[in-house]
Amino acid sequence: MKGFIFDLDGVLLSTDELHYQAWKRIADKVGIPFDRKDNDRLRGVSREASLEIILEKYDGQLSAAEKEDLCNEKNEYYKELLHTLNEDTIDPAVRDTLSFLRKEGYRLAVGSSSKNTKTILQRTKLADYFDAVSDGNNITKSKPDPEVFLKAAEYLFLKPEECFVVEDAEAGIDAAVAGGFCPIGIGPASRYRKTKFPIGKISELKEIAVKAEPQLQK
């Protein structure tokens, strides 16, 4: 194993509450009931797919243009909330683990459906830990399709079977398995049957990394 590909939200940090607040404003605007349990269903899926899930409770019909407007409006709300993020948002254990993996010779990437990934990494000062970023700006299919992880592996110049994928959502684990990656599950994904390595906290990646013995690239 030579690489680790990380989902962003729920793994490196949590912006669940920010997403919830933004989607809640959209749901309230359209008159759809929406709570945190509903929000959990949006983990790991694209903005467009998230809206479709929310609209399952909508009695009317929306045109493609109206749906696009709602997605854009949600994103504007979300980007406003991103200004609350900073370096202190990140658990020190995350930085410590990423530093350890780099020292062990692993290549690191982020694989996230979010189109705001690079902004979040910059605001939280995580960008320099990663060799590559694959996000919603360079994919056409969201998880559980493996495209975002396949692109990340490509950017790392690695094969899928040489990479771990760290995910907190079942859709992300499904994507990892479909792409031929080794899935590590944290949070809700740690209890998913397709997860190969369940972990309770990110620092447990150190033990997995040492056992995997990467081949240093020169």
- CATH of residue 206: 3.40.50.1000
* Residue of 7, 145, 168, 174 marked catalytic: 7
Same-domain check for residues 112 and 173: yes
16-30 and 47-54 helices, crossing angle to 10°: 50
Question: Residue 205 has what pLDDT?
Answer: 98
Question: Residue 214 has what pLDDT?
Answer: 55
The reported pTM is 0.82
In a domain, 218, yes or no: no
Last residue of a domain, one of 52, 82, 112: 82
16 assigned to active site: no
Residue 166 identity (one-letter amino acid): V
Question: Residue 114 has what pLDDT?
Answer: 87
Q: Cβ distance 46 to 136 under 8 Å?
A: yes
59 assigned to active site: no
In a domain, 29, yes or no: yes
Last residue of a domain, one of 62, 82, 102: 82
Same-domain check for residues 72 and 162: no
Instruction: Give the total number of structural domains in the chain.
Output: 2
* Residue of 9, 38, 145, 168 marked catalytic: 9
pLDDT, tens only, 43-97: 767 889 999 999 999 998 999 999 999 999 999 999 999 999 999 999 999 999 9
What is the extent of the structural domain holding 190?
3-13+87-212
Instruction: Please determine, for residue 215, whether its predicted confidence score (pLDDT) is greater than 80.
Output: no
Q: Cβ distance 21 to 82 under 8 Å?
A: no
Closest among 213, 217, 175, 215 to 192, alpha carbons compared: 175
Question: Residue 218 has what pLDDT?
Answer: 37
